[in-house]
Amino acid sequence: MLQGKSKIAIIGAGYVGAAIAYNVAINRTASEIVLIDVNNDKAMGEALDINHGLCHLGQMNIHAGDYSECANCDAIVMTAGLNRKPGETRLDLATKNIPVAKSITENIMKYYNHGVIIVVANPADVLTYLIQKWSGLPASKVFGTGTALDSARFRFYLAQRLNVDIQNVHGYIIGEHGDSQVPVWSATQIAGQSVDIYCKSMGIPLSDAEKLDIVTKTKNGGAEVIRLKGATYFAIAGIVENIIEAVVKDKNSIKTVASVLDGPYGIHDVALSLPSVINQRGVDGIIQYSLTPQEEEALINSAKTLRAFIAQLSNT
């Protein structure tokens, strides 16, 4: 058995929700995993499929449930929602997913008494903002995966270009989980050296055009996976598991998650991603870098983009 008891609920047993549950199980991050879905048979099937492998994983309580199971959870993970279809705009997707998210939030809050809510469903930044408002919970208790996946893609493409172990690459994408996201090149490091100094010392040319190519691949990474296989779920599942682990084990891990901001860089009343300290209290601190003027301007513009999008939604 796991030492201590930790319980998580995953709302939505589709590709993403099931992959998160499997990641949590194989890493033994929680002692109890509850899958909640409008299609209860699907939730039961995914739980049973994982349970059939428990002899190779270790004892856990994995089962389907209803919203009453949100009580006493360390983390409630919201993945339920429709995927963006070809030709649909972000506004189209948001218009469809907002009523779903509101209904889910209302059902969660009937039983909520503990823990954090982690928003994975898209558009993640907008839903994080709205769910925090609907729930009435502190901003620290409701956060989205935001640019955690974009940051992971950024590190992958940079590691690939420099032919270096990805664990020695440290860099963040901040702002919107979308087109206005901001790469923080000024804080990107390879083994503790700035990327420019590392490249110079190792004789590796890295031009502005190559940097732009890495940023473009990062921004379009999700669309490329969807083009090739129809959906993205493995990478985000691993990232969500890692975030859950930071919460249940009180790790003080730094992740680029989206929370409703009130002050950093002069930004207020919008949810976007900044490097944040994650522990049992949720978002327990936000790290502010000495951004270049260009990076800070881009971040402010990203906040304006999200705020304008939310205002547009209220007018639909």
Q: Alpha-carbon distance 114 to 109, whole Å?
A: 10
User: Which tokens in the block code for residue 260?
Assistant: 């409703």
Give the pLDDT of residue 1: 35
pTM: 0.94
Residue 2 pLDDT more than 50? no
Catalytic-role residue among 56, 63, 177, 268? 177
User: Catalytic site residue 170?
Assistant: no
* 87 band by pLDDT with thresholds 50, 70 and 90: low
| pLDDT per position as a tens digit, 168-217 | 999 999 999 988 999 999 999 999 999 999 999 999 999 999 999 999 99
Phi, psi (deg, nearest 5) at residue 144: -105, 165
* 302 band by pLDDT with thresholds 50, 70 and 90: very high
Residue 268 pLDDT more than 70? yes
* 85 band by pLDDT with thresholds 50, 70 and 90: low
| pLDDT per position as a tens digit, 104-142 | 999 999 999 999 999 999 889 999 999 999 999 999 999
| pLDDT per position as a tens digit, 146-161 | 999 999 999 999 999 9
What number is the average pLDDT over the span 32-39?
A: 97
What is the Cα 93 distance to its own chain's centre? 18
**Mean pLDDT, rounded, of the chain:** 94
Instruction: Judge whether 79 and 120 are in contact, CB under 8 Å.
Output: yes
Give the pLDDT of residue 312: 83
Give the pLDDT of residue 88: 65
All domains of the chain, ordered by start, with CATH?
7-144 (3.40.50.720), 148-314 (3.90.110.10)
Percentage of the residues of the chain whose pLDDT score is greater than 70: 96
User: Which tokens in the block code for residue 312?
Assistant: 């547009």
Percentage of the residues of the chain whose pLDDT score is greater than 90: 87
